[in-house]
């Protein structure tokens, strides 16, 4: 009877060799270039266009808006446990507010695996307007630091010089009848419009309709979120907020 | 003393049972990769068990389809207490892109308590290893709680 140890040579040889294992938790591993890990979100760059939510196939991105004084508090929530890490939100974000990091250690309770960030978006002030409640007392004109308002009590006329107005809001706070307000701003189209439809194509809320044969351009103020995407995409630079 | 020895050794050798509930196979491959010598999750004493009756940690992949729902419940009933459920990948955690599909009955939370979630689509083997280490700690705590 004879014993043979065919692998003895290898077994003894491997004893002195280094391990082929990565020893992962002890040694951190670098990811390959271009790896798409957890989402990072910069609220300071975001313009709240909502394009990321539109292109997200698993619906991992949710937005909550809370109306506050003079604007909105906007919170974006990116759920890693719902994400497919396709990177579409990053590709479609014009402001580059969304980036894919190399963070892959996404382990824990499902509630903790999220990116949440909040920012405050001020509603841009529109033209100063006056309602029918005006009694032409002239307090607004008196308090205007730029003398932009002229009130003619005798003729019952109230005018504002838009060039001079700095939208400080002093007149609004002084008005005894609370007749003054800033109008909600709107996207406006100038005369240079060629009805190319690029603004409508890039609108994340589909608020703009362009009818090329009839040469008509319209915006739905209810849908518009004033993200300014159309303004930046207009080839004739004829749009403004 | 003998009991203590068993207790210590079981804590250091969690047996895994891998269950696919309609996964695309991406995460399943990563689980297998995590057990290979290159990543070597077996350093933590893990061993892939062939039956749920031997398992301590259940790794579940896939969004829980209608077909696999009953099998999932039946399998989990066979696992001896205490055990840890680990949801591997985005699918069992939230159904991923298969949300609201007619054939998907998930997510996994509806049917059992998920102790550890590992996200990724598919998740990296390193993330699975971290998840297993975390699951082992939870298993230890569960064992202690059961003793009391």
Do A140 and A213 sit in the same domain of this protein?
Answer: no
A4 belongs to a structural domain: no
What is the set of domains in chain B, with CATH numbers? Answer: 2-147 (3.40.50.12280)
Nearest to B80 by CA among B49, B44, B42: B49
Q: Do A81 and B134 touch (CB under 8 A)?
A: no
Q: The domain spanning residue A100 has which CATH number?
A: 3.30.70.3270
**Contact between residue B59 and residue B18 where contact means Cβ atoms under 8 Å apart:** yes
Residue with tokens 């409640």: A133
Tell me, letter by letter, the H, E, C secondary structure of B11-60.
HCCCEEEEEECCCCCHHHHHHHHHHCCCCCHHHHCCEECCCHHHCCEEEE
- Round to whole Å and give the CA distance between A152 and B30: 79
A10 belongs to a structural domain: no
* Residue that is last in its domain, among A122, A140, A158: A122
**Mean per-residue pLDDT over chain B, rounded:** 90
pLDDT tens string A173-229: 888 888 888 777 778 888 888 888 888 888 888 888 888 888 888 888 888 888 888
Above 60 in pLDDT, residue A1? no
**Contact between residue A234 and residue A194 where contact means Cβ atoms under 8 Å apart:** no
More confident residue, A22 or B67: B67
pLDDT for res B56: 92
Q: Do B39 and A104 touch (CB under 8 A)?
A: no
Do A178 and A144 sit in the same domain of this protein?
Answer: yes
Q: Do B117 and A81 touch (CB under 8 A)?
A: yes
Measure the CA dihedral B86/B88/B92/B95, to 10°: 160
Q: The domain spanning residue A138 has which CATH number?
A: 3.30.70.20
pLDDT tens string B22-55: 999 999 999 999 999 888 888 888 889 999 999 9
Above 80 in pLDDT, residue A169? no
Do A117 and A140 sit in the same domain of this protein?
Answer: no
A155 belongs to a structural domain: yes
CB-based contact, B131 to chain A, within 8 Å: yes
Do A113 and A157 sit in the same domain of this protein?
Answer: no
Q: Do B134 and A107 touch (CB under 8 A)?
A: yes
Do A99 and A40 sit in the same domain of this protein?
Answer: yes
Total-model pTM: 0.77
Distance from CA of B36 to the nearest CA of A (A): 9
Element (H, E) at A216: strand A216-219
pLDDT for res A124: 67
Q: How confident is the model at residue A138 (pLDDT cuts 50, 70, 90)?
A: confident
A197 belongs to a structural domain: yes
A63 belongs to a structural domain: yes
Query: Of A32-36, A221-225, B113-117, which range is least confident?
Result: A221-225
A160 belongs to a structural domain: yes
The number of domains in chain A is 3
Query: Of A111-115, B7-11, B16-20, B112-116, which range is least confident?
Result: B7-11
* Residue that is last in its domain, among A139, A161, A182: A182
Above 90 in pLDDT, residue B57? yes
Do A176 and A222 sit in the same domain of this protein?
Answer: no
Do A97 and A145 sit in the same domain of this protein?
Answer: no
Do A50 and A98 sit in the same domain of this protein?
Answer: yes
Specify burial of residue A198 (Cβ count, 10 A radius: 0-12, 13-18, 19+).
middle
Measure the CA dihedral A189/A194/A197/A202, to 10°: -60
Partners of A83 on chain B (C-beta within 8 Å) are 90, 119, 121
Do A175 and A198 sit in the same domain of this protein?
Answer: no
pLDDT for res A228: 81
Do A110 and A80 sit in the same domain of this protein?
Answer: yes
Do A111 and A43 sit in the same domain of this protein?
Answer: yes
Range of the domain at A164: 128-182
Nearest to A103 by CA among A18, A183, A37: A37
């Amino acid at each position: 009877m004879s014993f043979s140890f065919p692998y003895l040579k290898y077994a003894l040889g491997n004893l002195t060799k280094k391990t082929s294992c990565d020893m992962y938790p002890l040694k951190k591993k670098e990811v390959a270039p271009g790896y798409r890990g957890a989402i990072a979100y910069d609220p300071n760059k975001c313009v709240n266009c909502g394009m990321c939510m539109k292109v997200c196939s698993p619906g991992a991105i949710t937005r909550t808006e809370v109306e506050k004084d003079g604007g909105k508090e906007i919170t974006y929530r990116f759920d890693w446990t719902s994400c497919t890490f396709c990177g579409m939100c990053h590709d479609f974000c014009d402001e580059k507010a969304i980036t894919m990091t190399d963070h892959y250690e996404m382990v824990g309770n499902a509630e903790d695996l999220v990116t949440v960030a909040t920012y405050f978006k001020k509603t841009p002030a529109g033209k100063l307007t006056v309602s029918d409640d005006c009694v032409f007392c002239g307090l607004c004109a008196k308090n205007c630091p730029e003398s932009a308002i002229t009130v003619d009590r005798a003729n019952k006329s109230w005018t504002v010089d838009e060039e001079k107005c700095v939208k400080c809001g002093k007149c609004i706070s002084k008005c005894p009848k609370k007749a003054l307000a800033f109008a909600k701003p709107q996207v406006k189209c100038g005369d240079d419009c060629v009805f190319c439809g690029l603004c409508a194509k890039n609108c994340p809320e589909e608020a703009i309709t362009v009818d090329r044969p009839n040469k008509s351009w319209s915006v739905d103020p209810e849908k518009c979120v004033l993200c300014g995407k159309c303004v930046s995409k207009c080839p004739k630079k004829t749009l403004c907020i | 003393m003998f009991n203590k020895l068993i207790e210590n050794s079981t804590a250091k050798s969690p047996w895994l049972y891998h269950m696919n509930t309609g996964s695309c196979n991406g995460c399943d491959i990563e689980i297998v990769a995590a057990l290979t010598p290159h990543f070597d999750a077996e350093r933590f004493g893990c061993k892939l068990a062939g039956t749920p009756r031997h398992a301590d940690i259940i790794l579940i992949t896939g969004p829980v389809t209608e077909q696999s729902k009953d099998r999932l419940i039946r399998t989990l009933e066979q696992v001896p207490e205490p055990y840890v459920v680990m949801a591997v990948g985005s699918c069992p955690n939230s159904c991923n892109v298969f949300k609201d599909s007619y054939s998907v009955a998930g997510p996994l939370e509806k049917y059992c308590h998920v102790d550890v979630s590992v996200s990724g689509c598919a998740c990296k083997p390193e993330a699975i290893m971290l998840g297993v280490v975390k699951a082992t700690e939870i298993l230890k705590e569960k064992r202690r709680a059961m003793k009391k």
